[in-house]
């Protein structure tokens, strides 16, 4: 923690200023067919300052953290703000200046594992896989961790220290059938460091077995029939719907530009079963996978209820947009690296659970699909979305049928929400989410399974 050091520069602030000292540390190990093809670590740290003047921001950063450089960074950000303010002449009002003091450290409390132990852990997973399944064409085990450590001091006497680590293990298998390669992957991990999750490889053998079983089903599966279908989106896919297709359209910067959600505030945009929240830090008193207690503008982060009983209630914003929209900041201003400026970003976005069991939902569909795994998603200004689906099943006469091969689903989110007719009573948080809006940043999404209608691609 370097808050005391940073606080020594408060006298240098001549205007609204955020001074941030940050270090991101990434560890990346990749075992491909038993070969350790990546064994790397990356540390990126430094200091940045952002100054607000008459409606514009000046920003400067440097990886060198000494007194002279920190002062230089503050001065450069002031110069940039003055230069741009002179050219653009926006003359806006003052930003919110709340005073908060927050310290949150999610570092592991267990003894740290050595690199050797991590590599051996991956090797044990590989050995188990190839000894049990002789027809594996390729296997990949990737361990990827990111520790984000931030110190923030502002001109309005907010100071904060947060250390938020995330660790993900990706397990990917490939097999060959009739000359074609099929693959499937699964992710394990979440908020915490390696030691918080990966103490015993045997605990993951069950997940490898399930992954292989599903992969075999997929290779022998069928192409879905193209067209509008009744489907159950399992929690990973409903979560990506929440983030990509709805969440981005209600980020206030996008709303200001003219997103489709601009006209929908306080209007009914979905079935009454639809409730969507961007959780700041905790769900049911437990930390979410990407907890944000204070954002990078120094705003204490709050949950944002986006949709309540099918009605669009709120947008996510930052200080500048709160000023513009005449509301308070929500704590959604987040920056990835020390050299990045805070942008309006989601945190942990999820539909809220409903009343039905998954079994009841499957039983209610005569001809449709149960879509379980996804590998990516994109959405648009119109709220039209596309998600890659890597695993799922047919549903015929209320029962699960054959597995399906890889496909894509699409729809217009605000239309799809109107078709939601059942919501499961479970809650699941996806791990390993990265959102790529200008800067790539960890996010989480999740929720229950939802029954709705989407357009499914097929042959």
Partner 1 sequence: MEFLDKCLALMKEKGADEGEVSLTHFQKEEMELKAGEISLLRSRDEYYLTLKAIVDKRKASIQINKIDDDSIVEAVTELMRNAENSQADEANEVSDQVQEREFSDFKDNYDPELMYKRLDSFREKVGADYPDLVLEGALLEYQNKYNYYRNTKGVKLSSNYDKYLFYTTFFGRRGEATSSMHGTAIFLENLEGELYELASLPSIMRETVEHLDARVIDEKKFRGDILITPDSLDSFLYSILSHLGNSMLIAGTSYFRGKLNEKVLDEKLTLRTEPVSEYLPVKNYYGGDGIINRNDYIFEKGVLKNYLLDLYGSKKTGLERGPSTGSNLVVEAGDKSLPEMIGSIERGIILGRFSGGHPATNGDFSGVAKNSFYIEDGEIKYPIKETMISGNLFELFQNIVGISRARVNFGFNLFPYIHAREIVVSSR
**Which one of the spans 180-188, 234-242, 347-355, 422-430 is the region binding partner 1 (CB under 8 A)?**
180-188
CA 17-297-277 angle, to 5 degrees, is: 170
Tokens 């085990």, residue located: 141
- Beta-carbon neighbour count of residue 266 at 10 Å? 9
Closest approach, Cβ 323 to partner 1, in A, equals 12
Q: Based on CB atoms, which residue is closest to partner 1, 73 or 431?
A: 73
Between CA 309 and CA 86 the distance in angstroms is 47
From candidates 107, 108, 419, 455, binder to partner 1 by CB under 8 A: 455
**Which one of the spans 57-65, 190-198, 359-367, 425-433 is the region binding partner 1 (CB under 8 A)?**
57-65
Q: Are 409 and 438 in contact (CB under 8 A)?
A: no
Q: Based on CB atoms, which residue is closest to partner 1, 59 or 445?
A: 59
Asked whether position 10 contacts partner 1 by CB under 8 A, the answer is no
Q: Write the binding mask 343 to 382 for partner 1: x where contact by CB under 8 A, - elsewhere.
A: -------------------------------xxx-x-xxx
**Which one of the spans 50-58, 186-194, 295-303, 392-400 is the region binding partner 1 (CB under 8 A)?**
50-58
Asked whether position 83 contacts partner 1 by CB under 8 A, the answer is yes
Between CA 428 and CA 445 the distance in angstroms is 9
Q: Based on CB atoms, which residue is closest to partner 1, 274 or 343?
A: 343
310: region left, alpha or beta (phi > 0 left; psi from -120 to 50 alpha) = left
Between CA 375 and CA 391 the distance in angstroms is 10
Q: Are 107 and 128 in contact (CB under 8 A)?
A: no
Distance of CA 307 to the CA centre of its chain: 19
Two tokens at 357? 């069991």
Closest approach, Cβ 164 to partner 1, in A, equals 20
**Which one of the spans 14-22, 163-171, 281-289, 400-408 is the region binding partner 1 (CB under 8 A)?**
400-408
Asked whether position 296 contacts partner 1 by CB under 8 A, the answer is no
Q: Are 394 and 400 in contact (CB under 8 A)?
A: yes
From candidates 42, 101, 132, 267, binder to partner 1 by CB under 8 A: 42
Distance of CA 233 to the CA centre of its chain: 18
Q: Based on CB atoms, which residue is closest to partner 1, 41 or 132?
A: 41
**Which one of the spans 62-70, 192-200, 294-302, 364-372 is the region binding partner 1 (CB under 8 A)?**
62-70
* Residues from 12 through 31 that contact partner 1 (CB under 8 A): none
Number of residues that bind partner 1 (CB under 8 A): 83
Asked whether position 46 contacts partner 1 by CB under 8 A, the answer is yes
Q: Based on CB atoms, which residue is closest to partner 1, 242 or 252?
A: 252
Q: Write the binding mask 410 to 449 for partner 1: x where contact by CB under 8 A, - elsewhere.
A: xxx-------------------------------------
Asked whether position 253 contacts partner 1 by CB under 8 A, the answer is yes
Between CA 170 and CA 60 the distance in angstroms is 36
**Which one of the spans 4-12, 278-286, 311-319, 451-459 is the region binding partner 1 (CB under 8 A)?**
451-459
From candidates 10, 75, 76, 396, binder to partner 1 by CB under 8 A: 76
Distance of CA 227 to the CA centre of its chain: 29
How far is the CA of 13 from the CAs of 19, 73, 150, 158, 359, in angstroms? 9, 11, 19, 13, 60
Q: Are 190 and 431 in contact (CB under 8 A)?
A: yes
Q: Based on CB atoms, which residue is closest to partner 1, 408 or 421?
A: 408
Tokens 């298998």, residue located: 173
Per DSSP, the three-state class of 353 is: coil
* Residues from 259 through 278 that contact partner 1 (CB under 8 A): 259-260, 263
> Greatest CA span in the chain, whole angstroms?
72
From candidates 90, 103, 222, 363, binder to partner 1 by CB under 8 A: 90
Asked whether position 115 contacts partner 1 by CB under 8 A, the answer is yes
Q: Based on CB atoms, which residue is closest to partner 1, 288 or 456?
A: 456
For 114-139, the DSSP string reads PHHHHHHHHHHHHHHHHHH-TTEEEE
From candidates 162, 317, 348, 407, binder to partner 1 by CB under 8 A: 407
Q: Based on CB atoms, which residue is closest to partner 1, 58 or 446?
A: 58
Closest approach, Cβ 11 to partner 1, in A, equals 23
- 3-class SS shares of the chain: helix, strand, coil, % to 5: 25, 45, 30
Asked whether position 116 contacts partner 1 by CB under 8 A, the answer is yes
From candidates 8, 43, 67, 327, binder to partner 1 by CB under 8 A: 43
Pure H helices in 220-341 = 235-240, 252-257, 319-325
Please provide residue 40's backbone torsions phi and psi, each rounded to the nearest 5 degrees: -135, 160
Between CA 57 and CA 89 the distance in angstroms is 12
């Amino acid at each position: 923690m370097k808050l005391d050091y940073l606080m020594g520069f408060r006298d240098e602030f001549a205007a609204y200023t955020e001074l941030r000292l940050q270090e991101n540390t990434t560890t990346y190990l990749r075992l491909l067919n038993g070969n350790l093809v990546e064994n790397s670590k990356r540390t990126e740290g430094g200091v940045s300052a952002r100054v607000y003047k008459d409606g514009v921001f000046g920003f400067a950063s440097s990886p060198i953290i000494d007194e002279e450089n920190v002062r230089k960074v503050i001065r450069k950000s002031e110069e940039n703000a003055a230069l741009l303010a002179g050219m653009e002449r926006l003359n806006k009002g003052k930003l919110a200046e709340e005073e908060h003091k927050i310290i949150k450290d999610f570092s592991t409390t267990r003894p740290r594992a050595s690199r050797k132990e991590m590599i051996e852990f991956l090797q044990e997973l590989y050995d188990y896989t190839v000894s049990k399944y002789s027809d594996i064409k390729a296997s990949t085990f990737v361990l990827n961790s990111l520790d984000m450590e931030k110190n923030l001091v502002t001109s309005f006497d907010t100071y904060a220290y947060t250390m938020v680590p995330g660790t993900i293990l990706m397990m990917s298998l490939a097999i060959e059938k009739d000359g074609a390669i099929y693959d499937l992957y699964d992710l394990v991990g979440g908020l915490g460091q390696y030691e918080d999750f990966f103490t015993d490889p045997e605990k993951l053998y069950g997940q490898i077995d399930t992954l292989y079983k599903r992969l075999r089903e997929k290779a022998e599966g069928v192409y879905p029939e193209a067209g509008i279908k009744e489907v159950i989106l399992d929690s990973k896919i409903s979560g990506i719907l929440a983030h990509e297709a709805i969440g981005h359209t209600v980020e206030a910067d996008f709303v200001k530009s003219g997103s489709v959600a601009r006209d929908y505030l306080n209007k009914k945009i979905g079935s009454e079963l639809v409730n969507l929240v961007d959780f700041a830090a905790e769900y049911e008193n437990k930390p979410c996978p990407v907890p944000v207690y204070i954002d990078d503008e120094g705003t204490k982060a709050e949950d944002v209820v986006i949709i309540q009983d099918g009605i669009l209630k709120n947008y996510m914003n930052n200080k500048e947009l709160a000023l513009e929209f005449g509301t308070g900041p929500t704590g959604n201003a987040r920056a990835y690296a020390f050299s990045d400026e805070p942008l309006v970003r989601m945190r942990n976005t999820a539909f809220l659970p409903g009343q039905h069991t998954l079994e009841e939902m499957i039983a209610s569909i005569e001809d449709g699909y149960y879509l379980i795994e996804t590998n990516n998603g994109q959405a648009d200004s119109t709220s039209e979305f596309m998600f890659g689906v890597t695993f799922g099943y047919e549903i015929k006469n209320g029962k699960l049928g054959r597995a399906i091969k890889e496909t894509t689903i699409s729809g217009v989110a605000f239309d799809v929400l109107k078709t939601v007719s059942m919501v499961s009573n479970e809650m699941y948080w996806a791990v390993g989410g990265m959102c790529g809006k200008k800067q790539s940043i960890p996010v989480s999404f999740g929720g229950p399974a939802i029954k709705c209608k989407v357009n499914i691609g097929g042959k």
